[in-house]
Amino acid sequence: MNRDDGGMVYEIEMAEGENIVEVETAGEGEVRETGTDSDGDDLANAREASVSAADAIETALDGRSDRVLDEAELDRHDGRLVWAIDLDDAQGMDAGEVHVDAGTGEVMTS
């Protein structure tokens, strides 16, 4: 997911069958498909994750009421599958990244 700096537009990639389906949605709730991809690594990562994006985002924002979601993506960090959650402050400026283990749901510390 990625928050567009021009407003509340989210780009979402999700596993469906043997493909990654790309959609976007705006604040009014309209969802439209923008493409498909058959990237094997992305699909394997999506299937391996037992923690949902929504749960990882909630964990990343817990205790950070002054932060908002900018982007969330599955990634490898030190060999582990994690949700890399980028946060912004209230003014839309970069406020750091939180890694949430995609298997356990725990925040990873450096």
Q: List, as one string, the DSSP characters of 43-100.
A: HHHHHH--S-HHHHHHHHHTT-TTEEEEEEEEEEETTEEEEEEEEEETTS-EEEEEEE
pLDDT category, 27, cuts 50, 70, 90? low
Averaged pLDDT for residues 58-64: 93
The burial of 19, by beta-carbon neighbours within 10 Å (0-12 exposed, 13-18 middle, 19 or more buried), is given as: middle
Domains of the chain: 1-48 (no CATH), 50-110 (3.10.450.40)
C-alpha 74/C-alpha 110 separation (Å) is 18
Q: Does residue 94 carry a pLDDT above 50?
A: yes
pTM: 0.77
Dihedrals phi, psi of 14, to nearest 5 degrees: -140, 150
